Chain A
């Protein structure tokens, strides 16, 4: 694939990110540079966040409700297990071939990958809430919906956010190969190294890694903010 390209170096990668380079394959057209890097980064962020939001909308209410009722454990946990076995490369390939390319088809595909962890963790998180607390809430007259909103969800935040973070990791990782389905993200640097060169490929790897870590860090912060003080004191 790329055996003929000169070896990459970190210095070269940094140069690639910041300054436009000559490309040795596409004859003269410039590649790299901050502007392009930013564009691809934003694209990856965009598709990731949209897919994550979609997955949340679908899986979170369902998981919370199933957990609250105590039903559908097999489904919730089963889908969680099944989701892990989906090969993302195949998913992207099939979407590209059978349904179509572009944001409209790729975003739901990525969301599919995000649903299982969110569903399972929402279910488990709610199930793990102390039954005595729920009984007390019911006893003072809260409606079922209020119980979910005001009691179970806040107490399940750590577990639920754990699921959201897992989903984010899976989605951002698959978004990296989204260029194969027409959504040009940072993964393009990696997949099409023939255009961008080894330096470009390494640059892409660095940027993807940084993006993923930043996203995870942001979500960790969100979790921190959402976790009530009382809960934080409990969990070590």
Chain B
């Protein structure tokens, strides 16, 4: 994931886009040919702190909420197969509708602010988490379930002690995709007044200038990378048996 970004950055540096000038915002904005003002960046980096924290908070809240709902739906559909197509379609609709539109469709109900943003972002994650959970559970070998039941595990014990642990890699994979998407999408939360890094890209009805946009984008990508790595690590920790290979 770093490679393409690094290549772009290197190319830009090469073309002389980055030149260090004064830290004056206006002066920086007044120079259209200058992509990145290091001076301004150095001086104003702290104005990104709050938006970053807001952004992170939104991401964590939405993914958590989305996971809880999608996971519950998947458990429901796991037992009752007839629920699967309608639930897949329903979560699919929420995934298809552009988040910006969904923000404002919801606005009359929930108003401006954090709640609307979190609900919409969570809705966007439902399909991937739901689908991955269903697939993960479906991939548990029938023989393993048969053995578990035959040994005396109750249906509930089979689900929680056998099926879900074995479905964990798929589930966490879905969670990773959902998280990365949400980190990027949360930039749009600025349109409903929910804060986040989007405020540094589009503030007060106008796009900000490139340096600000680039810093915000860089933080978004970095956040996505870090969260993805953290989830990957958690996945590895929780599934030690996958790393064990036949001797």
- Shortest Cβ gap from A22 to chain B (Å): 21
Residues of chain A lying within 8 A (CB to CB) of residue B177: 84
Size band of the B side of the interface?
35 or more
CB of A97 within 8 A of CB of B209, answer yes
Q: Please tell me which one of the listed residues B101, B197, B202 contacts residue A208 in the complex, with CB atoms under 8 A apart.
A: B101
CB of A84 within 8 A of CB of B184, answer yes
Which stretch of B41-49, B163-171, B211-219 is in the interface? B211-219
Q: Which residue of chain A has the shortest Cβ distance to B193 in the bound complex?
A: A1
CB of B213 within 8 A of CB of A90, answer yes
> Does any Cβ of B come within 8 Å of A212's Cβ?
yes
Residues of chain B lying within 8 A (CB to CB) of residue A90: 187, 201, 213-214, 216-217, 220
CB of B207 within 8 A of CB of A204, answer no
Residues of chain B lying within 8 A (CB to CB) of residue A194: 205
- Could you tell me which residues of chain A, from 199 to 223, have a CB within 8 Å of some CB in chain B? 201-202, 204-206, 208-209, 212-213, 216
CB of A87 within 8 A of CB of B98, answer no
CB of A176 within 8 A of CB of B210, answer no
Q: Please tell me which one of the listed residues A86, A176, A177 contacts residue B184 in the complex, with CB atoms under 8 A apart.
A: A86
Q: Which residue of chain B has the shortest Cβ distance to A168 in the bound complex?
A: B96
> Does any Cβ of A come within 8 Å of B37's Cβ?
no
Contact string, B181-221, partner A, CB cutoff 8 A, digits 1/0?
10111011011010001100110110111100110110011
A82 to B8, CA, bound (A): 13
CB of A173 within 8 A of CB of B99, answer yes
CB of B98 within 8 A of CB of A172, answer yes
A84 to B26, CA, bound (A): 33
Q: Please tell me which one of the listed residues B93, B104, B181 contacts residue A201 in the complex, with CB atoms under 8 A apart.
A: B104
Residues of chain B lying within 8 A (CB to CB) of residue A82: 1, 3-5
Which 10 A-B residue pairs are closest in the complex by CB-CB distance? A173-B98, A90-B217, A205-B104, A208-B101, A85-B224, A82-B1, A205-B101, A87-B187, A209-B97, A93-B213
Jot down 15 A-B pairs with beta carbons below 8 A, ordered by A: A82-B4, A85-B184, A85-B225, A87-B216, A96-B207, A97-B207, A97-B209, A98-B35, A169-B98, A173-B98, A190-B104, A205-B102, A208-B100, A212-B101, A213-B97
